[in-house]
Each structure stands twice: as structure tokens, then as C-alpha cells.
Copies of this chain bind each other. A is one copy, B any other.
Amino acid sequence: MINKNFKSIFQTTDFSYKAADVVIFGAPFDGTTSFKPGTRFGPNAIRYDSYAIEYYSPYLDRELSEVKIYDSGDIDIPLGNTKKILDLFGKYQRKLLADNKLPVCLGGEHLISLPLIHETFRKYPDLVVIHFDAHTDLRDEFFQEKLSHATVLRRAHDFLGDGRIYQYGIRSGDKSEFKWAESHVKMNKFNCDSLQKDVEEIGNRPVYITIDLDILDPSVFKGTGTPEPGGITFKELLNAIYTLKPLNVVAADMVELAPNYDTSGVSTAVAIKTLRELILTIG
């Protein structure tokens, strides 16, 4: 008769970490956000509103209950201390990988991906990163800082090296980033047209997926700090995700939902469904 509150649809193992294959955790950090902050509220918005969404995907004819998922909640962070915060995220990622879980992190701003990719790279030195985003995130520094949401993939390149980052949907950045990208990463501007071919090329190498939800057009996803018109549709994002099916995905994240900027709740619903389809594809 009594409904224990705030169970999300992404918790299918009755609160047992041990039994889980996929472990979700929140990285509620938005400390380097340059325009409108608020992605710290992303993970809990996803949990909170998820009970309005179905477990079942008619696209994939599969239910969340078919995957063993544990949601370990948000990581507590010492506000204002960027380096210490990133270390905490990395430390938890390391634990998950050591325990042979498939980590799925919910941001937070995009910088949270850096320690996660780094830890994943330490376990899988031939790691490939698949990056969905409106922005290049390839600056060498931003507002005089090396660690920023706008530098995150450039920092990842520091240890991954050339040819290991595949980017899709990119439509914003400064000129130098686009030039730099030409010889260091594989960038698919504006859309995901080359994804199918790239997936074949990647083969069975270990893959980290990072989805910056602002790859979507702001018509359907306005709950983010720097909306960029001209993005892909929700259906295009779903199709891109389904294309990832053959890959050997070892970790993933989904970032940049700032739920308060979309009071209609649509952006949160979009994030929840994207997460559902992602887990049903890679889990």
C-alpha cells in the first residue's frame, strides 16, 4: 500500500550493487559552465521524472527489466574545488571498472567526462571515444583554464592521441578548433552521417560513448546551458544510438541536461528516453 518514494525506472536490481551489470551514477558538477549553470540538477531530474516514462521500448521491443541496473546516486562533491571533484568522479569510475560493471554516468557539465574517460583509458589503452555534441570541446584552454567543459575532448586527446576521437553533430566552436580537428580527430560536422561506416571501422575495440545532449536541436531540447540551433532531431539521435549496437561499449555518459531551463519538462523526458534507449542498446 505504501510506495517508497523516488525509485527511478533505472533501478532494476532492488538496490543491490553486487547483482548489477550496469551501474548508473550522477556527477552533479557545473563549475566551469561559461553561460547558464544548472546541470548539477540533471541526474536527480532524470530520476524524479522517470516514473512518467515506460520501461518498455517499442523501438527495440525490449524492457529495462531485462537489464540488471543499479543506480548508486549522486557523488557528493566539495563545491568550488574542480580538481578534487574530478578526482572523486575518476575514483568511482575506477572502482566500477574494477568490479566489471558497465558504468553509465549522468552529468553535470561535459568536463565530468574527463576523469571517466581517463580511468577507462587506463583499463583499456586502445580505447576509442564516440562523442555526440554541438560543440567541438577541443580548445586548448578556455578563459585561461586548461580544465573546462570547452576543453574536455582536447584534454582527452592529450592521453588518447590522434585518431581515437570520433565526433558527430558538431556545429559550433572557434575557427582554430575546427582547423586543429582536421589532423587530430575524426569530426562529422552537423550530423551523424558517417557513423555507420565508422562503427565498422572501429570494430571490436573498446569504446567510450559520451553524449552531450545539446547535439539535439533546441526545439526538442532547450534544457541546457548553451542551446545551439541547427541540431539533429530526437529520431536521428535514437537512430545513431541503435547504430552503436555492434560495438564493444565499456563505459558511457550523458551530459548537459540543465532541467530548470525547460519548465515544461520536455528536455528531461528526452534525456530519460535517450538513457533508456542507450541502456537497452549497450546493456
Bound complex: CA of A268 vs CA of B213, how far in Å? 20
A35 proximity list for chain B (CB < 8 A): 52
Are A92 and B31 in contact, with the CB atoms below 8 A?
Answer: no
Counting every copy of the chain, the complex holds 6
Of A75-83, A116-124, A156-164, A204-212, which binds chain B?
Answer: A75-83
**Cβ of A100 < 8 Å from any Cβ of B?**
no
The reply on A230 being an interface residue by CB < 8 A is: yes
Q: Does A253 contact B (CB under 8 A)?
A: no
Inter-subunit contact B273/A142 (CB<8 Å):
no
For residues 27 through 66 of chain A, which have their beta carbon under 8 Å from a beta carbon of chain B? 30-38, 40-41, 43-44, 47-48, 52-56, 58-59, 61, 63
Q: Are A217 and B218 in contact (CB under 8 A)?
A: no
Docked complex Cα distance between A233 and B232 (Å):
11
8 Å CB contact of A75 from B2, B40, B78, B170: B2
Q: At the interface, yes or no: A240 with Cβ under 8 Å from chain B?
A: no
Task: State how many angstroms separate the Cβ of A195 from the closest Cβ of chain B.
Answer: 18
Cβ of A133 under 8 Å from chain B: no
Q: Is A3 an interface residue (CB 8 A)?
A: yes
Q: CB-CB contacts of A106-124 with B at 8 A, as 1s and 0s?
A: 0000010000000000000
Task: Report whether B143 and A270 are in contact in the complex, using a CB–CB cutoff of 8 Å.
Answer: no
How many residues does chain A have at the interface if contact means C-beta atoms less than 8 Å apart?
Answer: 89
Indicate if the CB atoms of A79 and B4 lie closer than 8 Å. Answer: no
Q: Which residue of B lies closest to A34 (CB)?
A: B79
Judge whether B34 and A37 touch: CB under 8 Å: no
Cross-chain contact B31 with A5 (CB below 8 angstroms): no
A103 touches B (CB below 8 Å): no
| Known contacts A143-B79, A170-B58: A5-B74 contact under CB 8 Å | yes
Residues of chain B with a CB closer than 8 A to A148's CB: 79-80
| A5–B220 CB distance below 8 A | no
A80 with B82, Cβ < 8 A, contacts A5-B6, A266-B218 known: yes
- Which chain A residues numbered 217 to 274 have a C-beta less than 8 Å away from chain B? 217-220, 222-223, 226-230, 234-235, 238, 260-266, 269-270, 273
- Besides A5-B43, A227-B265, A230-B235, 9 more A-B contacts (Cβ < 8 Å) are A1-B88, A2-B72, A2-B73, A5-B26, A5-B44, A54-B172, A59-B190, A217-B220, A222-B264
Q: Which residues of A contact B (CB under 8 A)?
A: 1-7, 25-26, 30-38, 40-41, 43-44, 47-48, 52-56, 58-59, 61, 63, 71-82, 84, 88, 91-92, 111, 142-145, 147-148, 170-175, 178, 189-190, 217-220, 222-223, 226-230, 234-235, 238, 260-266, 269-270, 273
